[in-house]
């Protein structure tokens, strides 16, 4: 009798897996995602609501964006992030979403955000694969233009200079184009001058190389 009941239970389970297996797998993955996100959030600490929560939608969990249009904030130098948020707040740098958000932040909140993202580990840009030829061309251009002089070893950034390695590829090209045309201004003038000497194809190659460059 027990054997018959056991076989019946096995049959029911097999039937349920056959009918709902995909849904159950999806539910498991959702639960795993929620658990992982909660653990990361708890590890970061800090009181609720957290200012950084407003950034996750575009810039990703812990500032690691996998959307090529939005930059990763993780491992960006804190002074650079402070300067950019202040530029958005003052209108010196313009972007529809960032301006209104930056204007709501106090000096303390800006510094809190900058320090939070600066301490996060940089991740590879796994959602982008560069064309080998374009990537090689971009590497040569980056070397010949001496980008490491400002952006540091491995192009990981320091002080007022941002991390370029592993950034969103589309974001990088948009910024290079903006510097070239004068839509975005670099206080030192260096990025405007350098970008203006590059052809559209060269700016594309640099963006391809940097987007695929693994952060160290």
Tally of structural domains, the chain: 1
User: Is the per-residue pLDDT at 36 higher than 70?
Assistant: no
Report CA torsion sign: 15, 19, 22, 25: negative
Number of neighbours of residue 44 by Cβ within 10 angstroms? 14
CATH of the domain at 186: 1.10.760.10
Residue 169 maps to a domain = yes
Residue 47 included in any domain: no
Q: Tell me: the pLDDT tens digits for 182-211?
A: 999 998 899 999 999 999 999 999 999 999
**Residue among 147, 149, 156 at smallest CA distance from 179:** 147
Tell me whether residue 176 is in a domain: yes
Confidence of residue 216 (pLDDT cuts 50, 70, 90): confident
- Quick check: is 65 in a domain? no
Give how far the C-alpha of residue 103 lies from the chain's centroid of Cα atoms, to the nearest Å: 22
Q: Domain range for residue 181?
A: 132-212
Q: For residue range 138-182, what is the model confidence (pLDDT) as tens digits?
A: 999 999 999 999 999 999 999 999 999 999 999 999 999 999 999
Q: Has residue 179 been placed in a domain?
A: yes
Residue 202 lies in a domain: yes
- Strand, helix or coil for residue 103: helix
Q: What is the mean pLDDT of residues 34-55?
A: 67
| pTM of the entire predicted model | 0.77
Residue 87 lies in a domain: no
Residue 119: count other Cβ atoms within 10 Å of its Cβ. 13
Domain presence at residue 197: yes
């Amino acid at each position: 009798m027990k054997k018959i009941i056991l076989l019946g239970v096995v049959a029911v389970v097999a039937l349920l897996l056959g009918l709902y297996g995909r849904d159950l797998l999806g539910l498991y993955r959702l639960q795993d995602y929620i658990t992982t996100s909660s653990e990361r959030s708890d590890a970061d600490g800090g009181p609720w609501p957290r200012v950084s929560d407003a950034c996750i939608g575009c810039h990703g969990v812990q500032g690691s964006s996998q959307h090529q249009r939005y930059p990763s904030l993780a491992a960006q130098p804190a002074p650079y992030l402070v300067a950019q948020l202040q530029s958005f707040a003052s209108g010196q740098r313009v972007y529809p979403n960032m301006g209104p958000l930056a204007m709501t932040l106090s000096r303390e909140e800006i510094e809190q955000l900058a320090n939070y993202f600066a301490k996060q580990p940089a991740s590879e840009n796994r959602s982008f694969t560069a064309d080998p030829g374009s990537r090689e061309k971009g590497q040569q251009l980056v070397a010949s233009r001496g980008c490491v002089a400002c952006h540091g070893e491995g192009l990981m950034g320091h002080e007022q200079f941002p991390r370029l390695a592993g950034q969103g590829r589309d974001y990088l090209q948009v910024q290079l184009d903006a510097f070239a045309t004068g839509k975005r201004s670099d206080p030192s003038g260096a990025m405007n001058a350098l970008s203006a000497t590059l052809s559209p194809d060269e700016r594309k190659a640099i963006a391809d190389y940097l987007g695929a460059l693994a952060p160290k």
